[in-house]
């Protein structure tokens, strides 16, 4: 019988790519998620019965343990960018990660891959980064040979980074950002998934790997690249820190007053803290090169999914060509 891997959060942005790779590699894949009915799209990633979504709450020992039954390996992709209800950074990214590792160790699971983030630091002023750091510590306490992946900003067809800002560019002549000078090193989601597969199959040695693409650019520079891809001219306005702080406080208050019914998906005060530090691979860190993975450049992927934000969508190039013929 083929081996079994349990992937917590296996229907999320990064998780679905890992799920797909493991299915292609012949593994049976158990996708542990809060809403299995919303994860049915992963089933065709393999043959009938090979990929199965199951109900699991990472905050609950019993459901996490049940999802691990019979597994040969485990991947934890669960993470949040904004707190909502009981899904707090500490409960999900620190306690949840530790729970998966502890129960995996109890059940004799041999390999674990944990998706963290560059900037993870238990001593950070940011609750997000601090919970990521605490989560790593919890994982290593119980699974010392685990592979921990720390990606920079992850890009790909379903990302919430380039897609979000490209969507904003359709609505306004101004594109406001905070932390415009912060350097980032976007990494393609497929490269992250390949690294995770290497961890699951044992091709990657245990340890922490920081994953970044071949290019480093400022947030402002990334916005200019995106605008070039979507063929739009917009003013990229870097908000002063104090103005961004007032806006973040306001958005946070709206979420608090509505009891989470209106989620702050724009800018939180905690995210603002992270936008004061570069999000790039450290010079002494192991990364994609040590894994033998050649990173995919942004220019090779962005046009494939951002074309829909162009003024004429998929017909934009044809329209430009026709205009050139008319002018000629």
Phi, psi of 64 (to 5 degrees): -65, -40
**pLDDT band at residue 261 using 50, 70 and 90 as cut-offs:** confident
Q: Would you call 174 helix, strand, or coil by DSSP?
A: strand
Map tokens 């790519």 to a residue: 17
Q: Is 242 exposed, middle or buried (0-12, 13-18, 19+ CB in 10 A)?
A: exposed
Structure confidence at residue 92 (pLDDT) = 97
> Taking Cα atoms as reference points, which of 212, 214, 218, 208 lies closest to residue 277?
218
d(CA 141, CA 185): 29
CB 263 within 8 A of CB 84: yes
Tell me the average pLDDT of the chain. 94
**pLDDT band at residue 17 using 50, 70 and 90 as cut-offs:** very high
Q: What is the mean pLDDT of residues 22-38?
A: 97
Helix (H) or strand (E) holding 236: strand 235-238
pLDDT digits (tens, 9 = 90+) for 200-241: 999 999 999 999 999 999 999 999 999 999 999 999 999 999
CB 88 within 8 A of CB 78: no
Structure confidence at residue 85 (pLDDT) = 85
pLDDT digits (tens, 9 = 90+) for 159-170: 999 999 999 999
Q: What is the mean pLDDT of residues 15-42?
A: 97
Structure confidence at residue 262 (pLDDT) = 84
* Statement: residue 315 has pLDDT above 90: no
For the chain, what is the largest distance between any 2 Cα atoms, rounded to a whole number of angstroms?
Answer: 72
d(CA 218, CA 221): 5
pLDDT digits (tens, 9 = 90+) for 233-247: 999 999 999 999 999
pLDDT digits (tens, 9 = 90+) for 93-122: 999 999 999 999 999 999 999 999 999 999
- Which ranges constitute the DSSP H helices of 25-161? 61-68, 89, 96-106, 127-142
DSSP codes of every residue in 127-153: HHHHHHHHHHHHHHHH-TT-EEEEESS
Q: What is the mean pLDDT of residues 67-92?
A: 95
Map tokens 């162009």 to a residue: 310
Average the pLDDT over each of 79-88, 91-100, 307-316, 319-328 and give the range with the smallest value: 319-328
Structure confidence at residue 222 (pLDDT) = 98
Two tokens, residue 208: 């922490």
**pLDDT band at residue 326 using 50, 70 and 90 as cut-offs:** low
* Statement: residue 317 has pLDDT above 70: no
pLDDT digits (tens, 9 = 90+) for 281-314: 999 999 999 999 999 999 999 999 999 999 987 7
Structure confidence at residue 260 (pLDDT) = 82
Q: Could you state, in order of their start, the residue ranges of all structural domains in the chain?
A: 4-158+185-214+278-295
* Statement: residue 250 has pLDDT above 80: yes
Give domain 4-158+185-214+278-295's CATH superfamily: NAD(P)-binding Rossmann-like Domain (3.40.50.720)
What is the CB neighbour count within 10 angstroms for residue 300?
10
Give the pTM: 0.94
CA dihedral 89, 91, 96, 99 (to 10 degrees): 150
The pLDDT > 90 percentage for the chain reads 89
Rounded to the nearest 10 degrees, the angle between the axes of helix 61-68 and helix 96-106 is: 50
Rounded to the nearest 10 degrees, the angle between the axes of helix 189-201 and helix 13-24 is: 50
């Amino acid at each position: 019988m083929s081996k079994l891997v349990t992937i917590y959060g296996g229907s999320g942005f990064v998780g679905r790519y890992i799920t797909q790779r493991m299915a292609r590699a012949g593994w049976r894949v158990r996708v542990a998620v809060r809403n299995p009915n919303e994860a049915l799209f992963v089933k065709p990633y393999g043959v009938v019965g090979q990929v199965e979504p199951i109900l699991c709450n990472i905050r609950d020992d019993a459901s996490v343990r049940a999802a691990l039954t019979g597994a040969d390996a485990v991947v934890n992709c669960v993470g949040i960018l904004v707190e909502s209800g009981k899904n707090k950074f500490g409960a999900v990214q620190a306690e949840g990660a530790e729970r998966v590792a502890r129960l995996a160790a109890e059940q004799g699971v041999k390999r674990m891959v944990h998706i963290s983030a560059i900037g993870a630091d238990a001593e950070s002023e940011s609750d997000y980064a601090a919970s990521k750091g605490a989560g790593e510590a919890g994982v290593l306490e119980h699974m010392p040979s685990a592979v921990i992946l720390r990606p920079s900003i992850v890009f790909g067809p379903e990302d919430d980074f380039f897609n979000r800002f490209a969507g904003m560019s359709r609505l306004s002549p101004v594109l406001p950002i905070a932390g415009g000078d912060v350097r980032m090193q976007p990494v393609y989601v497929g490269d992250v998934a390949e690294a995770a597969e290497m961890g699951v199959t044992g091709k990657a040695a245990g340890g922490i790997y920081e994953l970044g693409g071949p290019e480093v650019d400022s947030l402002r520079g990334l916005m200019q690249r995106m605008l070039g891809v979507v063929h739009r001219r917009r003013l990229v306005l870097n908000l002063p820190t104090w103005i961004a702080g007032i806006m973040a406080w306001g958005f946070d208050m709206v979420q608090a007053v509505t009891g989470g019914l209106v989620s702050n998906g724009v800018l939180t005060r905690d995210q603002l803290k992270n936008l004061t530090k570069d999000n790039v691979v450290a010079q002494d860190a192991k990364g994609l090169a040590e894994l033998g993975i050649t990173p995919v450049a942004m220019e090779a992927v962005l046009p494939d999914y951002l074309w829909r934000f162009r003024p004429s969508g998929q017909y934009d190039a044809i329209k430009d060509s026709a205009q050139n013929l008319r002018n000629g």
